[in-house]
Amino acid sequence: MRCVLMNKNTPVLEAEYNSGVGVFTNIYVLYNMEYAPYHLRNSNSLCVELSEWFKNRGIPSFRDRLDLLMHRLNVHAPSELLDKAFGLSLSD
- The string of pLDDT tens digits covering residues 6-25 is 998 999 999 999 988 889 99
pLDDT at 68: 85
Q: Which residues of 6-36 are buried (b: 16+ CB within 10 A; e: fewer)?
A: eeeeeebbebebeeeebbbeeeeeebeeebb
Does pTM surpass 0.75? no
The C-alpha atoms of residue 82 and residue 77 are separated, in whole angstroms, by 10
Q: For residue range 26-78, list pLDDT tens digits in order.
A: 999 999 999 999 889 888 899 999 999 888 877 777 778 888 888 888 877 77
Confidence band, pLDDT 50/70/90 cuts, at residue 91 = very low
